Chains A and B, each alone.
Chain A
Amino acid sequence: MIGTRLSMQSPVPLKIGVLGIAFLFSFPAGYLLWRNFTGDTSSLKLLNKSQVLSPLQRSLILSVAVSLTTALIGIVLAWLTTRCDLPGKRIWKIILPIPLVFPSFIGAAAFIRTMNPGGFLNGLLNKIGIDNVVEIRGFFGAWFVLSLFCYPYVYLPVAAKLRHLPSSLEETSRVLGYSPRKTFNHVVFPQVAPVLGAGTLLVFLYTISDFGAVQLLRYDTLTRSIATSQLANKSLSLALGLFLLIIAGIVVFAERMISRTSISSDQKSIGPPLKYSLGAWKLPSFLVVSLLTLLSLGAPLFTLSKWAIDGLRRGSGNGHPLTLNVQQVWESTWNTLSISVIAGFVTILAVLPIAIVISRYKSKVGNLAHSLVIATFAVPGILIALSMRFWSLQTDWAYNLFNNTKALLVFSYVVRFGSLAMGVVLLSVAAVPNNLQDAGQTLGVKRIPRFFRIYLPLMSPGLGAAAGLVILSTMKELPITLLISPLGFSTLATRMFSSFEEAFIAEAGILAVILVALSSILTWMLVIRKSEHL
């Protein structure tokens, strides 16, 4: 059912469009290549050092561990909330994606402050006689915190897929007498596996590029080496950046090889997906999901709210006044909201042609563009920001046109987060049954109207979810916002970061609480409301 379609060549305008998009996405990679091979020293030689190898090893170990954990959490949550009679399903749908919005540094800080010696929860546990709580630091800390904040990368696309799966195969399996578990293993899992793989890959790449959490939790990875060598030994930091990109490229390529046959699907969705009763497992499942939410959302939110409330109290008493006024808060909130929604929207427009090309046609260009978009996710934000600056300064017209504009900022976000949208968009495109297209073709509807009348309405829930992923990530983005935004443009995340770094904890808490509230509303509007699909 796939073969005939995929052998078709893509239409030339589409191909050119995809090439153009691939070109735009190649800016960071191009920058790293340029800087590494045109400098005075051949910087790749610097990599042959033990100070590079052990951080690299730690980066890889951590990324694999977090990937596996989030894959497990993601698939279990997706299964429970889409296919089982878990109590409070609507609420979970809104709550479960939210942890994605915590900038990793503030999430990590909240955990350190709560769970470690002298912290609130630590004190509580001491009182009931537990006094050797595991300290949140090092490998354990980084694994724990990143897993809690990254699982939505897996959960969201897998849940989407599970809601789309046709019930027919599962019904057949049940009729043939297979247990629900066997049905899951042999029927459901193989269909979900490619999406699971793609989501897990994102977690892997994100973990590799994360700096905020690993530095606070004191796990010495490659991003730390990049950060500390930036001024002291710039060529080393650039070589490391390229190195990360190469690793990402290899991993992405491997993932493509494994899942390439199964991305496109031509199944018709017949009836609502099959539901399973949890029976005696209802309460335990509910407790597990609650515990997870308590850890990934409740605990950090509790700490951040406490900072905020303490600060507000202090501000209204005679203590130190807050260094934040209402107008600044409003301005940052508005900037955060508008720029992230626009970035989400533009990202969808950018990755949609790639998704169409690889799921409908046989296209080398499409596959190349896809790999480039995904692998770029492993490049730390600061290097993406510098690359954008670099390229926009190469010609006068680009400089005059883009310098100090929000357009360049949005473009940078799109390049940074295109990978997040890619998987879900691909899924939505593949979910449009080919026979509908055939019907449209037979009825003589031209390609472009066909797209707007047939494709877009069918894809829109998935596209909304993809935009949601990008929006939540843009809202917390730091280095690109700091370096690329027009002068004087602040977001909640940038203000939160500068407050926090200078120990203005109350201010950071207030901004963080607003960020979480804002993201909950957006998740509800874009991803959840009135959509049974995601």
Chain B
Amino acid sequence: MKHPTKIKRLTTNIFKIALIATIGFFLSSCGDEKKELEGAAKDIFSGECVNGTDASIVIYSGRSENLILPVIEAFECETGIKVDTRWGSSTEMALLIDEEGNKTQADIFLSRSPGPVGYLDGKGYLAPISSNILGGVDERMRSQNATWVGFSGRQRVLVYNSDEFSEGTLPSSIFDLTGADFKGKVAIPGSNGSFIDWFTILIDQYGDETAELWINQMVENGARYYPNNRSIVEAVGRGEIAMGLVNHYYNYKISAATGAEHKASNYVFKDNDIGGTLIISAAAITESSQKVSEAEEFFMYLLSTQVQTYFTESTYEYPIAAGVQPNSALPELEAFEIGSINFDSLGEGFENANRIIESSGILNQ
């Protein structure tokens, strides 16, 4: 009103921005073909890329782009199969596949743990994987229904602040954390997927009553709730809380990122205690996929020596394929004997685990 020219200019500006945005929007979709790999992908495959083929697959990945993208790039380069990926949390991806049903675009689902794949398996959305792939891993690291295969592992550990505790003062079993020495000291990621999966295994091995008793006693003993592994490792490193139940590899990554000011160490429970269970990242093929052979080629790639080595050297995970040595920085794996666990029951036990966790009140501590 007072400055008609200014207003006009503003309007023009808005249009200009919108126009530029629209043009770039379409331009941005065209990427250029690369002939050789860079960065972490080069560590996996350093040769020259083969020419692209018509073949392509779609992955819904619940594992982070930072971890998996180099593998996908190397796969594309080495095989010429194009990969399109949707990134998100494993829960979100499982919910999406559930919603999309047989119309899902996904050929492959990569999950942080067996829980979300178990959920989809229970609904019949997963196809069986051929036995030559399943044969590449120990039978404890794959589904008994042949619907998923493990490709990397993270061990459950107790991360502790090294100013407050030393290894000798820590308990040998997770069941001892309910003792007076640890009152108000332990962080539990009660709503976190890996923890819920682990708790489901606990129920599976020890029964409802023992599991329920343990978590209720933990709450009575002043255990504190944190939403995820990362926030616990970070808080322990700062000294906000003395210790917590987490997956092992966050501590390596946060130490690498923040250096000496991060005062946390990992502790593995003794004598094959259930507190040291290995949580497996799982790969599955959707029932509706028309690209089973390409998908299986990707699975072979995931389990190949170079990719398994990448996982352990770069992301500090435990390799799953037979014959690949873990990163020398990692303690030797004496994980809880998981052979007797039927991981496929996790999908069904999930709801029960969640109910027990929730009614313990830990989520509000």
Listed in ascending order, the chain A residues whose CB lies under 8 Å from chain B are 51, 54, 109, 112-113, 116-119, 135, 215-216, 218, 220, 224, 227-234, 269, 272, 310-311, 314, 319-321, 323-325, 331, 334-335, 337-339, 341-342, 345, 382, 385-386, 389-390, 393, 399, 403-404, 406, 456-458, 460-461, 463-464, 467, 479, 482-483, 485, 487-488, 490, 494-495, 498-507, 525-526, 529-532
Report if B38 contacts A (CB, 8 A).
yes
Distance in angstroms from B16 CB to nearest chain A CB is 9
Q: Which of B1-35 contact A (CB under 8 A)?
A: 1-4, 6-11, 13-14, 17-18, 21-22, 24-25, 28
A532 touching B240, Cβ below 8 Å: no
Question: Closest chain B residue to A456 by CB distance?
Answer: B11
Q: Which of B343-365 contact A (CB under 8 A)?
A: 350-351, 353-355, 358-359, 363-364
Which one, A399, A479, A487, contacts B92 given CB within 8 A?
A: A479
Report if B64 contacts A (CB, 8 A).
yes
Which one, A224, A499, A532, contacts B64 given CB within 8 A?
A: A499
Distance in angstroms from A392 CB to nearest chain B CB is 10
Report if B39 contacts A (CB, 8 A).
yes
Contacts of B358 in A (CB 8 A): 51, 228
Q: Say whether, besides A464-B14, A502-B67, A117 and B354 are in contact (CB < 8 Å).
A: no
Contacts of B65 in A (CB 8 A): 490, 495, 498-499
A310 touching B258, Cβ below 8 Å: yes
Contacts of A531 in B (CB 8 A): 6-7, 10
Report if B231 contacts A (CB, 8 A).
yes
Given contacts A331-B28, A504-B64, 15 further A-B contacts (CB under 8 A): A117-B238, A229-B354, A234-B98, A382-B92, A386-B96, A389-B96, A389-B99, A389-B100, A479-B92, A488-B86, A502-B67, A503-B257, A507-B66, A532-B3, A532-B6
A342 touching B22, Cβ below 8 Å: yes
A310 touching B21, Cβ below 8 Å: no
Report if B162 contacts A (CB, 8 A).
no
Distance in angstroms from B278 CB to nearest chain A CB is 18
Report if B40 contacts A (CB, 8 A).
yes
B359 touching A51, Cβ below 8 Å: yes
A-B contact pairs, 13 of them (CB 8 A): A117-B239, A118-B239, A135-B240, A230-B95, A320-B257, A325-B38, A342-B18, A386-B95, A483-B86, A483-B96, A487-B58, A501-B230, A502-B67
B14 touching A112, Cβ below 8 Å: no
Q: Which of B277-301 contact A (CB under 8 A)?
A: none
Report if B75 contacts A (CB, 8 A).
no
B14 touching A526, Cβ below 8 Å: yes
Listed in ascending order, the chain B residues whose CB lies under 8 Å from chain A are 1-4, 6-11, 13-14, 17-18, 21-22, 24-25, 28, 38-40, 58, 64-67, 69, 84-89, 91-92, 94-96, 98-101, 103, 105, 115-116, 119, 191, 196, 224-228, 230-231, 233-235, 237-240, 250, 253-254, 256-258, 350-351, 353-355, 358-359, 363-364
Q: Which 10 A-B pairs have the closest CB atoms?
A: A118-B238, A232-B354, A487-B84, A482-B88, A323-B66, A338-B21, A498-B64, A502-B64, A341-B21, A220-B364
Bound CA–CA A494/B86 (angstroms): 11
Q: Say whether, besides A231-B94, A338-B22, A526-B17, A323 and B7 are in contact (CB < 8 Å).
A: no
Most chain A CB within 10 A, of B22, B58, B64, B85, is at B64
A216 touching B231, Cβ below 8 Å: yes
A310 touching B257, Cβ below 8 Å: yes
Most chain B CB within 10 A, of A339, A482, A490, A507, is at A482
Bound CA–CA A506/B253 (angstroms): 11
Bound CA–CA A109/B350 (angstroms): 29
Q: Say whether, besides A342-B22, A504-B253, A116 and B238 are in contact (CB < 8 Å).
A: yes
Contacts of A335 in B (CB 8 A): 28
B1 touching A319, Cβ below 8 Å: no
Which one, A321, A385, A404, A503, contacts B230 given CB within 8 A?
A: A503
Most chain B CB within 10 A, of A460, A464, A479, is at A460
A403 touching B105, Cβ below 8 Å: yes
